[in-house]
Amino acid sequence: MISFKHVSKSYTGTEKAVNDVNFEVEQGEIVIFLGPSGCGKTTLLRMVNRLETITEGSILINDQDIGELNEIELRRKIGYVIQSNGLFPNMNIEENVTIVPDLLGWDKKKKHNRYKELMQLIGLDPMEYRKRFPNELSGGQQQRIGVIRALAADPPVMLMDEPFGALDPLIREKIQDEFLQIQREVKKTILFVSHDIDEAIKMADKIVLMRDGEIMQYGTPSDILIHPKNEYVSQFIGRDRAIKHLSLRTIAQLQEEIGLVDIDQSIVDSKQVNVHENLKDTLAMLLNQEADQVIVHDDNDEVQGAITIDRVQRYLHLEMRQKPAQAREKEKVIE
């Protein structure tokens, strides 16, 4: 668990790059620092492995104040991924990947085995790439090597500063998926900087939404989309917050809440979809092909029913209007 306690940072004079930040990160969560350029995301991240000093307040990892730890040891226990060029150009891929184990004094065999294991994790042939240098790899491959380098010594905490920012959208999505897959296995506590709201919605367990060094809202993506706390937050997440929210929900969840509709047999050419598909893509499918229904299958390929635009709209209404209203009612009662 990582706790930020009244953390502030000023580089020069009185202006604060980070201003009295307070929040806690649970073990195994991905928390994304989100906000416009210059709002202090990188600064906040870099204070965790003490690449930046903390001006006021403290950061605790498992109740241990990081200010009291040896900074070299601290950094070796925290994986760190940066946007571009983080790989050492003078070292080959294997040396790059195993740099932290090497600094920690692992023996040759253990390092090599770990290298092979990590390369398999990202589906690159360990032998083929071993002796290659970073400049002989594509941007996407370099970025993935950067990620496994941070994982090499199996650190409990990872810091990632716009790790996929420099990639083109297609590759980025692929690597995001791959990364989420890896995270499901390794369950690291991850602090992740992004300024891409879609990336944050897709990857985050929680989002820290920032402005001018201060936290505007801290919560789950769904929380932030459904109850933006103030004008700034709702502007930042955009008018399409309802649609964005659909990407967090699956057909299965809709089915549970309001059920599917019966299949209209008169429509011949209907698309098929799995029940775990997210609602945003399902809606896109309905809109694109101008079909009135999409037929829903479960994992055993059994037909569950059909879904229509109308159905999606009803679900959205429920999620965005009725539920928040109920929640507000409840709050009032408690008060």
Ligand X SMILES: Nc1ncnc2c1ncn2[C@@H]1O[C@H](COP(=O)(O)OP(=O)(O)OP(=O)(O)O)[C@@H](O)[C@H]1O
Of the candidates 128, 173, 165, the residue with the CA atom closest to the CA atom of residue 146: 165
Task: Indicate which of ligand X, Mg ion, other proteins, none lies near residue 271 (CB less than 5 to 8 Å, by partner kind).
Answer: none
Quote the least distance from Cβ 17 to ligand X, whole Å: 3
Quote the least distance from Cβ 92 to other proteins, whole Å: 7
Neighbour tally for 4: CB within 10 Å = 23
- Interface residue with other proteins, options 47, 87, 200, 216 (CB under 8 A): 87
| Of residues 176-195, those binding ligand X (CB under 6 A) | 195
Quote the least distance from Cβ 177 to ligand X, whole Å: 23
149 binds other proteins (CB under 8 A): yes
134 binds other proteins (CB under 8 A): yes
CA distance 323 to 222: 12
Site string for ligand X, 209-228 (x = CB under 6 A): --------------------
| Of residues 116-175, those binding ligand X (CB under 6 A) | none
Q: What is the DSSP letter of 67?
A: G
11 binds ligand X (CB under 6 A): yes
DSSP strand pairing (157-161 vs 78-81): parallel
Q: What angle do CA 34, 39, 41 make, to 5 degrees?
A: 55
Of the candidates 306, 312, 41, the residue with the CA atom closest to the CA atom of residue 193: 41
8 binds ligand X (CB under 6 A): no
- Interface residue with ligand X, options 2, 17, 248, 294 (CB under 6 A): 17
| Of residues 46-65, those binding other proteins (CB under 8 A) | 49, 51
Cβ pair 81, 20 in contact under 8 A: no
**Nearest to Mg ion of 42, 255 (CB atom):** 42
What are the helix (H) ranges across 88-194?
A: 93-97, 99-103, 108-121, 126-129, 139-151, 169-186
Q: Residue 9 class from Cβ within 10 Å (0-12 exposed, 13-18 middle, 19+ buried)?
A: buried
105 binds other proteins (CB under 8 A): no
Which residue, judged by CB position, is nearest to Mg ion in the bound state? 42
Please enumerate in sequence order all residues whose Cβ is within 8 A of that of 40, keeping only pairs 6 or more positions apart, or say none: 9, 17, 18, 19, 210, 212, 213
Task: Indicate which of other proteins, Mg ion, ligand X, none lies near residue 204 (CB less than 5 to 8 Å, by partner kind).
Answer: none
**Nearest to other proteins of 190, 215 (CB atom):** 190
Amino acid identity, position 204? A
